[in-house]
Structure 1
Amino acid sequence: MRELLVVGIGPGHPDQITVQAVQALNRVDVFFLIDKGDAKSGLNAVRDEILERHVADLNFRVVEIPEPPRDRSPSLSSGAYEAAVQDWHEARARRIGRALASELADDGVGAFLVWGDPSVYDSTLRVIDRILACGVVEFEYAVIPGVTSVQALAAAHRIPLNRIGEPIYITPARRIADGLPEGLDSAVVMLDSGFTAAVLDEPGLDVFWGAYLGTDDQALIAGRLDEVADQIAEVRTRLRAEHGWIMDTYLLRRRRASDPSDA
């Protein structure tokens, strides 16, 4: 039976990939890649470097699957946003299912490479469930975890994600537009199309921001939010223009009297 591997490859540095992931990559006959266009060419180059560095036998095939369109309108209501994502997942499932049926032999091993880890804000596993449910193609699959951008952010800033006894809260940016949730003093923010934290009018917040984490283009800024928000927004805009894409993550934290004087 066909086998599909969903491999977390970390946030970008070729060395931030696990031994288990390297072993998995070396079993693959066909790599299935979602083609997101020329804007993500930098990501493609990093992915290619990972394969060149870690796959001993380069006698594999790469099958690119065009990314279906998706409604990313910031004005979408919560219900409309979820419906748009569901439609996007369904379109992805149809395209990927057809590719698996036509491009992967009955006894072949295929793989999807997932930035970071497949369990953190990635649609691949949900799409796989849809493919199996529709019965177009049969396969077994396994998930190989990876280093997340959240871990890479904390390592780059040399900070723990939580204070003693605190929960770790990870959220898309749209959920902190009105401030941190009640009762939480820290939040890791992902999937931000801009720098949402810049509009927060809450004193006493520190921010630890990072872009292109783990790569040669890594950029880091930390400090009091009200002092560095404009700098982060400006640097983020410039970097996105230079590269054509950006992946960034940041930690927001309410300051305590016992914290160091500088973030």
Structure 2
Amino acid sequence: MSALELTLIGIGTGNPEHLTLQAIRAMNAQDLILIPQKGAGKDDLAGLRRSICDEVLTNEAVQIVGFDLPVRDPAIEGYRARVDHWHDAIAEAWRGAMAQHPTARRVALLVWGDPSLYDSTLRIAARLEPEPRITVIPGITSLQGLTAAHAIPLNEIGAPFMVTTGRQLRDHGWPEGVDTLVIMLDGDCAFQTLPPAGVTIWWGAYVGMAEEIIRHGPLAEVAEDIIATRAAARAAHGWIMDIYLLRRG
């Protein structure tokens, strides 16, 4: 059994006030916290993680170590194959960072949102050999941040909802059997592919952060504004994290 204890800590959507007491205690119990660096134009993401550490760490023995996050190789054919290769590369980057601190036995990664919802940190952790002991600290998700920002419930009374991706919405349309969809990981505004009649959208970017932007209204009326606002925000910050809820009827 490996002596490594790997803790995946959900840190919410970038607001230090989203951290739970459990998350703060876990951060202060680590030997090492790994911070991914995504390269030029995305320094804010590493900076936000470091600012969270600055705000809540009281244990001076905790070391903060950055590592360069690999990017997907566009030359690899097939979406799943590209993702698998990318996850292998990320696991190798973790190993490289930890190898520079061989005495560290308690290592953590700060996961945007929550490790359970459209996040691959757990899958990457499973690639480590020998297998570490993994602890997951849940965090506030962007889904929760979105509904809170708009002050709306996620579901209608007695009705189901579905959380899916922009790719699925674009390729397969509106799924049958549900009138409420939450769309994540959508870099191309896949709502443009839907017939807009009767559809309402609640959209948010950087939810819970000082930079938060939200829009709401009939899809036919606000779609173009959301597309333009999203493009401008991404250009201004160099990155964007957004999410939206669609409801029919």
> What TM-score do you get using the length of structure 1 for normalisation?
0.88
CA distance 1:189–1:167, shift in 2 (3 Å): same
The answer to which of 48-57 and 202-211 deviates more is 48-57
Q: Is the 8 A contact 1:26 1:55 kept in 2?
A: yes
Aligned positions of 1:77-116 closer than 5 A: 80-105=78-103, 108-116=105-113
Give the one of 105, 119, 122 matched to 1:122: 119
Runs of 4+ in 1 over 6 A off after TM superposition: none
CA distance 1:155–1:49, shift in 2 (3 Å): same
Give the one of 61, 64, 74 matched to 2:63: 61
Q: 1:15 is matched with which residue?
A: 17
Q: CA deviation at 1:165?
A: 1.7
Other structure's SS at 1:65 match: strand
Q: 1:209 is matched with which residue?
A: 203
Q: CA deviation at 1:253?
A: 0.7
Gaps of 5+ in 1: 256-263
Q: 1:260 is matched with which residue?
A: none
* 1-structure distance, mates of 2:209, 2:38: 20
* 1-structure distance, mates of 2:155, 2:74: 31
% identical aligned pairs? 42
* 2-structure distance, mates of 1:92, 1:59: 26
Aligned positions of 1:28-43 closer than 5 A: 28-43=30-45
Q: CA deviation at 1:210?
A: 0.3
Q: CA RMSD in A?
A: 1.8
Q: CA deviation at 1:212?
A: 0.5
Q: CA deviation at 1:169?
A: 0.9
Q: CA deviation at 1:158?
A: 0.6
* 2-structure distance, mates of 1:184, 1:105: 51
* 1-structure distance, mates of 2:140, 2:125: 21
What per-residue deviation string (whole Å, max 9, x for no partner) do you get for residues 193-241 of structure 1?
Answer: 1211123224110000000011110000000000000000010011111
Gaps of 5+ in 2: none
**AA paired with 2:50?**
D
Give the one of 156, 159, 162 matched to 1:163: 156
* 1-structure distance, mates of 2:44, 2:9: 19
